[in-house]
Structure 1
Amino acid sequence: MGLKSSLSKIFAFFVNRQLNQVRRNALGLQQNTFSDLIYQAKNTAFGRDHQFYSINNYEDFKKRVPVRDYEELRPYIERVSKGEADVLWPGKPAYLAKTSGTTSGVKYIPISKQSMPEHIKAARNALLSYIHETGNAEFVDGKMIFLQGSPVMDEKAGIATGRLSGIVAHHVPAYLQKNRLPTYTTNCIEDWEQKVDAVVKETVNQDMRLISGIPPWCQMYFDRLSAVSDGKRIKDIFPNFKLFVHGGVNYEPYRARMEESIGAKIDSIETYPASEGFIAFQDSQKEKGLLLMVDSGIFYEFIPSDEYFNEQPTRINLKDVELNKNYALILNTNAGLWGYSLGDTIKFVSKDPYRITVTGRIKHYISAFGEHVIGEEVEQALMNVAAEEHVDIIEFTVAPQVNPEKNELPYHEWFIEFGKPPADVPAFALKVDKALQKKNIYYSDLIEGNILRPLIIRNLKKDTFINYMRSQGKLGGQNKVPRLSNDRKIADELKEYVS
Structure 2
Amino acid sequence: MDFTPFARALFGRRVNASRSWTGHTREVQLSELERLLSSLRKTKWAAGKGLSEVRTYDEYRTALPATVPYSELRPWIMRMIEGEKDVLWPGTTRNFAQSSGTSDGKSKYIPVTRESFARSHYKGGADVVAHYLSLYPDSRIFSGKSFILGGSFANELNLRAGVKVGDLSANLIDNINPVANLFRIPSKQVALLEDWSVKLPALVKAAAGKNITNISGVPSWFLTVLKQIIAQEGVSSIHDVWPNLEVFFHGGISMAPYHEQYSHITSPKMRYLECYNASEGFFAL
TM over 0.5: yes
- Does the residue aligned with 2:115 lie in a helix, a strand or coil? coil
- 2:122 corresponds to which residue? 120
- 2:228 corresponds to which residue? 224
- 1:45 corresponds to which residue? 44
CA contact (8 A) 1:42 1:51 kept: no
In the TM superposition, what is the alpha-carbon distance from 1:134 to its structure 2 partner? Answer: 1.3
Q: Please, which moves more after superposition, 263-272 or 152-161?
A: 152-161
Distance 1:233 1:139 in 2: 19
Equivalent residues in 2 for 1:351-362, closer than 5 Å:
none
CA contact (8 A) 2:3 2:143 kept: yes
- 1:177 corresponds to which residue? 181
CA-atom RMSD in angstroms: 2.2
Q: May I ask how many residue pairs the two structures share in their alignment?
A: 280
In the TM superposition, what is the alpha-carbon distance from 1:152 to its structure 2 partner? Answer: 8.6
Q: Please, which moves more after superposition, 16-25 or 194-203?
A: 16-25
Distance 1:144 1:36 in 2: 33
Residue deviations 1:195-222 (CA, integer Å, cap 9, x gap): 1221112213221111111001111112
- 1:129 corresponds to which residue? 131
In the TM superposition, what is the alpha-carbon distance from 1:25 to its structure 2 partner? Answer: 2.6
- Does the residue aligned with 1:96 lie in a helix, a strand or coil? strand
Distance 1:247 1:84 in 2: 33
Distance 1:147 1:32 in 2: 34
Of the three residues 137, 142, 161, the one matched with 2:165 is 161
In the TM superposition, what is the alpha-carbon distance from 1:3 to its structure 2 partner? Answer: 4.4
Distance 2:239 2:92 in 1: 46
Equivalent residues in 2 for 1:251-400, closer than 5 Å:
251-281=255-285
1:77 has 2:77 as partner: yes
- 2:25 corresponds to which residue? 26
Amino acid at match of 1:61: Y
Percent of residue pairs bearing the same amino acid type: 27
Amino acid at match of 1:101: G
Distance 1:221 1:53 in 2: 49
In the TM superposition, what is the alpha-carbon distance from 1:247 to its structure 2 partner? Answer: 0.2
Amino acid at match of 1:22: W
| Larger strand share, 1 or 2 | 1
Residue deviations 1:209-253 (CA, integer Å, cap 9, x gap): 111110011111121112112242111111111010100111122
Distance 2:177 2:216 in 1: 16
Unaligned runs of 5+ in 1: 282-499
- Does the residue aligned with 2:150 lie in a helix, a strand or coil? coil
Amino acid at match of 1:60: E
Structure 1 residues 24 and 197, CA gap change in structure 2 (3 angstroms): farther
- Does the residue aligned with 2:152 lie in a helix, a strand or coil? coil
Distance 2:21 2:174 in 1: 27
Distance 1:184 1:171 in 2: 10
- Does the residue aligned with 1:256 lie in a helix, a strand or coil? helix
In the TM superposition, what is the alpha-carbon distance from 1:127 to its structure 2 partner? Answer: 0.6
- 1:93 corresponds to which residue? 93
